[in-house]
């Protein structure tokens, strides 16, 4: 039996008050619908609320990683750096919450633990970890793609005598690492951003690396006020240009094969990218870098040479050098002094491919070779990405079918927006949409606008339920797969394919068809009266 609701039912429940949930709330209010938002954190911000680790910053330029829905908002907010730090982005999100008076509909410190479809009442019954229950007609998840931290999966973690911090749940008051011997496990974006800053504070730092990543210099700098003024004067033009970009980030795209150009010219092009500090620059230089192994290897070798030229100890340089998977098929990292950090006397690297971790001990970390002693440990071990945040929400659709069962062999959705058998459930940046392979705020705004317009349509046409046709869903899942198969992406054991979570089905989850094509498809579907969706006018029993 679904739990009964003990609060007034509402039209819409939104799960999450990060960038997606806040804008969804704003749009839903604009439709005159009643709404509740549940947020696990004690304030707004989502990813930018939790990931407060030292060095955390965005790797999409600030002027592009911001809402576009209100020209006044974009004019009044001043970014101080090319790539904003976590505190600055959080201040921006708090400003948005204040400006549109959003907090009054948000229940903080509350996690949704079950969402059960009641078909007869045409509602979703939501239960939270604080015991609250509420029914809603439409359920919108805005839980983010990288919000379910993955446990480190190392035995003995609970025995460590000192503090353990996780980059994905960093103490809000910060941490003083001065004078400490620190061990960091994990060298994805979070590790790579935090390691140089931790190294500056700690007495010593040991980095435990399982898979080397490709990282490019961010070239972060204060934003020149004149540049910002000029940008803002042409904001509409820039926003329109962004929507023409495959990744939703402004970038110059080449058209030639990397193998067709003179090697010196290709190196000059890569050098230019190395200097620009845009992570999408090298992959965009030549279209076949993402599709052809030999073309990809030219970029991979360019970055490897940079690592060798930066890191003084050749053995350490070799250990830091990524091999065995194509460049860019794991999320490329942007750093500020990452490779240089390994030239410090106080920093050492443990190559876990050579000597794996056996266990965490009360004193530190024991590998097959040695026990390393620490005062504190930092885990930067990543997330159960894309599906994790949805599957931990206890979602059960028609006939009590658990979303976990439905997705046992990998996520299935139509356009990444809805799942067959789960009527009136919308998933912002869901699997099968560009989400994490795009500038996510661009994808968030597009999904929110699409869902808001859909809700308007449903009301105007007196429609009680919307859900995808199974055929349309199957065709979309196949299309997402086919597009990914044209690229090198599925070849890497990345979180994009769920390879970082033991037992997770290996399916490439985001949609690689690019932002413009995806937007067009979604727009066409809506314009055709929600082609591929089943709209049900049935009246709800009294
Ligand atoms: O997580 P990750 P992340 N023993 O999964 C290692 C976004 N982001 O938090 O690769 C030893 O990338 C794991 O090793 P391996 C961005 O999209 C954006 O860093 O599985 N090591 C890997 O090295 C990013 O891609 C920004 O072999 C273990 C690391 O931990 C995504 O979030 C900043 C281990 C995890 O790397 C995730 O990044 C930060 C174990 N048991 C994040 N388990 C921006 O700049 C895991 N690892 C906006």
Mean pLDDT of 520-532: 98
Nearest CA to ligand 1 atom 8: 189
Query: Count of alpha carbons within 13 Å of 119, Cβ hemisphere only?
Result: 13
Phi-psi region of 532 (alpha: psi -120 to 50; beta: other; left: phi over 0): left
Q: Measured from the CB, is residue 498 less than 6 Å from ligand 1?
A: no
Nearest CA to ligand 1 atom 7: 189
User: What spacing in Å lies between the alpha carbon of 322 and ligand 1's midpoint?
Assistant: 14
Each residue's pLDDT tens digit, 130-175: 999 999 999 999 999 999 999 999 999 999 999 999 999 999 999 9
pLDDT band at 21 (very low <50, low <70, confident <90, very high): very high
Q: Measured from the CB, is residue 357 less than 6 Å from ligand 1?
A: yes
Longest CA–CA span in the chain (Å) reads: 75
Each residue's pLDDT tens digit, 337-395: 999 999 999 999 999 999 999 999 999 999 999 999 999 999 999 999 999 999 999 99
**Ligand 1 atom showing the smallest separation from residue 330 Cα:** 25
CA distance 130 to 443: 31
CA distance 295 to 451: 39
Residue 542 predicted with pLDDT over 90:
no
Partner residues linked to 136 by β-bridges: 10, 124
Query: What are the b/e assignments for 228-238, b being 16+ CB within 10 Å?
Result: beebbeeeeeb
Q: Measured from the CB, is residue 153 less than 6 Å from ligand 1?
A: yes
Using alpha carbons, select from 182, 226, 17, 8 the residue that is nearest to residue 112.
Answer: 17
CA distance 265 to 254: 13
Q: Ligand 1 pocket test: pick from 190, 372, 501 the residue with the most ligand atoms within 8 Å of its Cβ.
A: 190
User: What pLDDT, on the 0 to 100 scale, is given for residue 27?
Assistant: 98
**Ligand 1 atom showing the smallest separation from residue 382 Cα:** 1
Nearest CA to ligand 1 atom 25: 331
| Cβ count near 103 (within 10 Å) | 18
In terms of pLDDT, which residue wins out, 304 or 4? Answer: 304
E strands, 428-520, in order: 465-468
User: What pLDDT, on the 0 to 100 scale, is given for residue 445?
Assistant: 98
Q: Measured from the CB, is residue 381 less than 6 Å from ligand 1?
A: yes
Nearest CA to ligand 1 atom 9: 382
In this structure, what are the phi and psi dihedrals at residue 347, rounded to the nearest 5 degrees? -115, 130
**Ligand 1 atom showing the smallest separation from residue 51 Cα:** 39
| 113 three-class SS | strand
Q: Measured from the CB, is residue 215 less than 6 Å from ligand 1?
A: no
Q: Measured from the CB, is residue 211 less than 6 Å from ligand 1?
A: yes
Q: Measured from the CB, is residue 329 less than 6 Å from ligand 1?
A: no
Residue 177 predicted with pLDDT over 80:
yes
User: What pLDDT, on the 0 to 100 scale, is given for residue 539?
Assistant: 58
User: What spacing in Å lies between the alpha carbon of 457 and ligand 1's midpoint?
Assistant: 40
User: What pLDDT, on the 0 to 100 scale, is given for residue 496?
Assistant: 98
CA distance 538 to 542: 12
Each residue's pLDDT tens digit, 80-114: 999 999 999 999 999 999 999 999 999 999 999 99
User: What token pair was written down for 479?
Assistant: 């299309």
DSSP string, 187-215: -SHHHHHHHHHHHHHSSEEEEEESS---E
Alpha helices (runs of H) in 311-420, residue ranges in sequence order: 314-320, 338-341, 388-391, 403-406
User: What pLDDT, on the 0 to 100 scale, is given for residue 538?
Assistant: 72
Q: Ligand 1 pocket test: pick from 152, 211, 500, 504 the residue with the most ligand atoms within 8 Å of its Cβ.
A: 500
Nearest CA to ligand 1 atom 6: 186
User: What spacing in Å lies between the alpha carbon of 352 and ligand 1's midpoint?
Assistant: 15
Q: Measured from the CB, is residue 186 less than 6 Å from ligand 1?
A: yes
| Cβ count near 470 (within 10 Å) | 13
User: What spacing in Å lies between the alpha carbon of 227 and ligand 1's midpoint?
Assistant: 33
CA distance 82 to 84: 6
Mean pLDDT of 251-255: 95
| Cβ count near 521 (within 10 Å) | 17
Each residue's pLDDT tens digit, 468-491: 999 999 999 999 999 999 999 999
Q: Using an 8 Å Cβ cutoff, are 2 and 118 in contact?
A: yes
Residue 4 predicted with pLDDT over 70:
no
User: What pLDDT, on the 0 to 100 scale, is given for residue 1?
Assistant: 40
CA distance 16 to 105: 12
Mean pLDDT of 209-213: 97
User: What pLDDT, on the 0 to 100 scale, is given for residue 2?
Assistant: 46
Q: Using an 8 Å Cβ cutoff, are 438 and 145 in contact?
A: no
Mean pLDDT of 316-322: 98
User: What spacing in Å lies between the alpha carbon of 345 and ligand 1's midpoint?
Assistant: 25
Each residue's pLDDT tens digit, 27-39: 999 999 999 999 9
User: What spacing in Å lies between the alpha carbon of 380 and ligand 1's midpoint?
Assistant: 6
Residue 3 predicted with pLDDT over 90:
no
Q: Ligand 1 pocket test: pick from 53, 169, 196, 210 the residue with the most ligand atoms within 8 Å of its Cβ.
A: 210
CA distance 146 to 37: 19
SS3 content of the chain, % helix, strand, coil (to 5): 35, 20, 45
Q: Measured from the CB, is residue 152 less than 6 Å from ligand 1?
A: yes
Each residue's pLDDT tens digit, 404-434: 999 999 999 999 999 999 999 999 999 999 9
pLDDT band at 513 (very low <50, low <70, confident <90, very high): very high
Mean pLDDT of the chain: 97
pLDDT band at 6 (very low <50, low <70, confident <90, very high): low
CA distance 37 to 103: 9
Residue 129 predicted with pLDDT over 70:
yes
CA distance 411 to 508: 9
pLDDT band at 7 (very low <50, low <70, confident <90, very high): confident
User: What spacing in Å lies between the alpha carbon of 211 and ligand 1's midpoint?
Assistant: 10
pTM of model > 0.75: yes
Residue 5 predicted with pLDDT over 60:
no
Mean pLDDT of 211-215: 98
User: What spacing in Å lies between the alpha carbon of 318 and ligand 1's midpoint?
Assistant: 20
Angle at 439 between CA 107 and CA 285, to 5 degrees: 165
pLDDT > 70 in the chain, percent: 98
């Amino acid at each position: 039996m679904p739990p009964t609701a003990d609060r007034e039912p509402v039209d819409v429940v939104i799960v999450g008050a990060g960038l997606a949930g806040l804008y969804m709330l704003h749009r839903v209010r604009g439709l005159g619908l009643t709404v509740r938002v549940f947020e696990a954190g004690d304030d707004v911000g989502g990813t930018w609320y939790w990931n407060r680790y030292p060095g955390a910053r965005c790797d999409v330029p600030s002027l592009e990683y911001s809402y576009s829905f209100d020209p006044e908002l974009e004019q009044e907010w001043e970014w101080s750096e090319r790539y904003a730090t976590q505190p600055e982005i959080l201040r921006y999100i708090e400003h948005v919450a204040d400006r549109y008076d959003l907090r009054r509909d948000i229940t903080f410190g509350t996690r949704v633990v079950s969402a059960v479809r009641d078909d007869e009442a045409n509602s979703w019954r939501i239960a939270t970890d604080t015991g609250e229950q509420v029914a809603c007609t439409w359920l919108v998840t805005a839980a983010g793609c990288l919000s379910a931290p993955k446990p480190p999966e190392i035995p003995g973690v609970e025995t460590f005598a000192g503090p353990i911090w996780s980059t994905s749940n960093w103490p809000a008051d910060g941490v003083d690492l001065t004078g400490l011997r620190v061990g960091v496990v994990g060298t994805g974006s979070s590790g790579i951003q935090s390691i140089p800053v931790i190294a500056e504070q700690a007495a010593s730092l040991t980095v435990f690396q399982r898979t080397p990543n490709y990282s490019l210099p961010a070239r972060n700098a204060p934003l020149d006020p004149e540049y910002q003024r000029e940008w803002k004067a042409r904001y509409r033009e820039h926003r329109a240009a962004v929507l023409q970009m495959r990744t939703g980030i402004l970038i110059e795209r080449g058209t030639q094969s990397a193998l067709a150009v003179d090697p010196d010219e290709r190196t000059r092009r890569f050098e230019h990218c190395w200097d620009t500090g845009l992570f999408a620059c090298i992959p965009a230089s030549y279209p076949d870098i993402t599709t052809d192994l030999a073309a990809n290897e030219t970029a991979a070798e360019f970055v490897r040479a940079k690592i060798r030229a930066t890191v003084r100890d050749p053995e350490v340089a070799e250990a830091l050098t990524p091999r065995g998977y194509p460049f860019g098929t794991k999320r490329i990292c942007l750093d500020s002094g990452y490779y240089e950090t390994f030239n410090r006397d106080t920093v050492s690297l443990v190559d876990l491919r050579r000597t794996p971790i056996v266990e965490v001990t009360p004193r530190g970390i024991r590998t097959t070779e040695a026990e390393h002693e620490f005062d504190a440990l930092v885990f930067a071990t990543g997330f159960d990405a894309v599906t994790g945040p949805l599957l931990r929400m206890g979602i059960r659709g028609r006939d009590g079918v658990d979303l976990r069962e439905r997705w046992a062999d990998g996520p299935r959705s139509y356009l990444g927006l809805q799942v067959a058998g789960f009527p009136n459930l919308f998933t912002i940046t869901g699997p099968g949409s560009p989400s994490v392979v795009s500038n996510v705020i661009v994808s968030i705004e597009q999904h929110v606008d699409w869902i808001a317009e859909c809700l308007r349509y449903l009301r105007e046409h007196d429609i009680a339920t919307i859900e995808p046709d199974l055929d349309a869903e199957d065709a979309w899942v196949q299309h997402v797969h086919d597009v990914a198969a044209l690229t090198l992406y599925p070849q890497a054991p990345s979180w994009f394919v769920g390879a970082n979570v033991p037992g997770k089905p290996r399916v490439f989850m985001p949609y690689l068809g690019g932002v413009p094509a995806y937007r067009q498809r979604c727009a066409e579907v809506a314009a055709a009266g929600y082609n591929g969706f089943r709209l049900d006018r049935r009246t709800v029993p009294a």
